[in-house]
Chain A
Amino acid sequence: MREGSVAVIGDKDSVLVFKAIGVDVYPVDGEIQAREKVHALARTYSVILVTEQVAKWAEMYIARYSARPYPVIVPIPSAEGSQGLGEARIKANVEKAIGADILFDKEDK
């Protein structure tokens, strides 16, 4: 058992409100800044929430941590709404594991 904390990275509009509930907030507004933040926080936080835009910007850095249990980096929708990245990730996982997308198929029928 180890102590861990939660951080959120994203544009100011989307992340500021997280501050009130006790999550550490790191507003960024640019690709380079986003990458640096993800890289810098990955060692200190166990859960990092990133807006979908940041997830896209820092894709390479996030992929680097995918093989380890921590940190857990999760994309969340921003204030402008969801771009479907989370769903796309689930889909990709299903396809990778099973070879065909059986979860989303079922609902279309």
Chain B
Amino acid sequence: MAKLNVNPTRMELRRLKNRLKTATRGHKLLKDKSDEMIRRFMLYIRENKRLREEVEKELQGSLKAFMLARAVSNDASIEEALALPGTKVKLETSSKSIMSVEVPVFQITQAEQSELYPYSFASMTGELDGAISSLSGLLPKILKLAEVEKTCNMLADEIEKNRRRVNALEYVMIPQLEETIKYITMKLDENERGATVRLMKVKSMINQ
């Protein structure tokens, strides 16, 4: 590992020793952060996987039911039936911090849950009712999935970034500093020995 390009002086040595101390402490802290983030990430990713599987399965069921409904009645009447939905999904959004990563949190505040089926039952097939009711039950799960998946995504990005920092400190910064400190110490020691030898030499010359 290459040493830094600095003058071998006591002042520089002191400065580098301080930097090394900071770097070592930073490295330890970042490593701890990384460990904790991975622990949290594992909790979330398990939930993410479970939710994803459930949502995909159930959503496909609802969509199939809807396809059937579309096959039974004609397109125009289905569109007409769904043209004016009786309800609207509203969310309360905020964010929370997981290891200083801002992740979204939201809650459904379904305002006017007055009428789930915006059409008369007489005019539409039963398949459509089924599709809509199952989808409506699935919606909270879909939103939960959205939340968890985004959290996982952001945590994964942050973990990767953090790992780069840890590695840069561990394999570049700290060895470099150590090497340079060693170089300066050796240089200073060498100078000192040189000075001693010179003094001894001068003394013996005077004595002669």
A19 contacts partner chain B, Cβ-Cβ < 8 Å: yes
Nearest CB in chain A to that of B70: its residue? A13
The complex places the Cα of A44 from the Cα of B13 at a distance, in Å, of: 56
Nearest CB in chain A to that of B78: its residue? A16
Interchain CB contact under 8 A, A46 and B52: no
Interchain CB contact under 8 A, B52 and A87: yes
Interface Cβ pair total, 8 Å cutoff: 152
| Cβ contacts under 8 Å, B154 to chain A | 66-67, 69
Chain A: residues with Cβ within 8 Å of the partner, total of: 41
The complex places the Cα of A82 from the Cα of B57 at a distance, in Å, of: 9
A42 contacts partner chain B, Cβ-Cβ < 8 Å: no
A6 contacts partner chain B, Cβ-Cβ < 8 Å: yes
Interchain CB contact under 8 A, B92 and A2: yes
Q: Which of B18-26, B128-136, B181-189, B191-199 contacts A (4 or more CB under 8 A)?
A: B128-136
Interchain CB contact under 8 A, A2 and B82: no
* Residue in A47, A79, A97 whose Cβ sees the most chain B Cβ within 10 Å: A97
Chain B nearest CB from A46 CB (Å) reads 5
Overall SS of chain B's interface: helix
Nearest CB in chain B to that of A25: its residue? B82
CB-contacts of A8-53 with B (<8 A): 13-14, 16-23, 46-47, 49
A76 contacts partner chain B, Cβ-Cβ < 8 Å: yes
Interchain CB contact under 8 A, A93 and B152: yes
Chain A nearest CB from B38 CB (Å) reads 6
Partner of A21, one of B67, B89, B92, B150: B89
Interchain CB contact under 8 A, A21 and B153: no
Taking A22-B85, A22-B89, A76-B142 as contacts, is the C-beta distance between A82 and B60 under 8 angstroms? yes
Interchain CB contact under 8 A, A20 and B92: no
What residues of chain A have their CB less than 8 Å away from a CB belonging to chain B? 1-6, 13-14, 16-23, 46-47, 49, 66-67, 69-70, 72, 74, 76-79, 81-82, 86-87, 89-90, 93-94, 96-98, 103
What residues of chain B have their CB less than 8 Å away from a CB belonging to chain A? 37-38, 41, 45-46, 48-49, 52, 55-56, 59-60, 62-64, 66-67, 70, 78-79, 82, 85-95, 102-104, 106, 110, 116-118, 131-132, 135-136, 139, 142-143, 145-147, 149-150, 152-157, 159-160
Closest 3 A/B residue pairs (Cβ): A22-B87, A4-B93, A4-B91
Q: Can you show 6 pairs from A to B with CB atoms below 8 A apart?
A: A2-B92, A5-B88, A16-B66, A16-B79, A17-B135, A93-B45
